[in-house]
Amino acid sequence: MNWRGLSDDQLRSIKVPTLLIVGDADVVRPEHVVQMFRLLGGGMPGDLVGLPRSQLAVLPGTTHVTLITKTDWLLSMVRPFLDAPLPRAK
């Protein structure tokens, strides 16, 4: 009940691939998830600097509760994410 989330520094310290999924009508605001995405190395021009270790999916017409009803969409994103080879350590 008292957990306040991770600090920006804690998010930046996460080095493993991360998939963030949010609904566009979620109680968690999309701009908050975009901020987390950027802290995790996302939001860069992938064609110029390579793909980031994090990925972001915003599901249209989806709330925090109805997300679970979007199994086709979720499986189409989660399976490839989990099956992808891990990036090489730098």
CB 42 within 8 A of CB 22: no
The pLDDT tens digits of the residues spanning 20-78 come to 999 999 999 999 999 999 999 998 888 888 788 899 999 999 999 999 999 999 999 99
Q: Write the pLDDT tens digit of every residue in 5-15.
A: 899 999 999 99
Domain that holds residue 29: 20-83
Q: What is the pTM of this model?
A: 0.85
Burial grade of 83 (CB within 10 A; 0-12, 13-18, 19 or more): exposed
Identify whether 88 is part of a domain. no
43 and 52 Cβ atoms separated by less than 8 Å: yes
What pLDDT, on the 0 to 100 scale, is given for residue 89?
59
Question: Is residue 70 included in any domain, yes or no?
Answer: yes
As for how many domains the chain has, the answer is: 1
Residue 71 has what pLDDT?
94
Does 80 score more than 70 pLDDT? yes
Please say if the pLDDT value at position 88 is more than 80: no
24: in domain: yes
Q: Domain for residue 8, yes or no?
A: no
The answer to the question of residue 13 being in a domain is no
22, 30 Cβ separation under 8 angstroms: yes
Give the model's confidence band at 90: pLDDT under 50 very low, under 70 low, under 90 confident, else very high: low
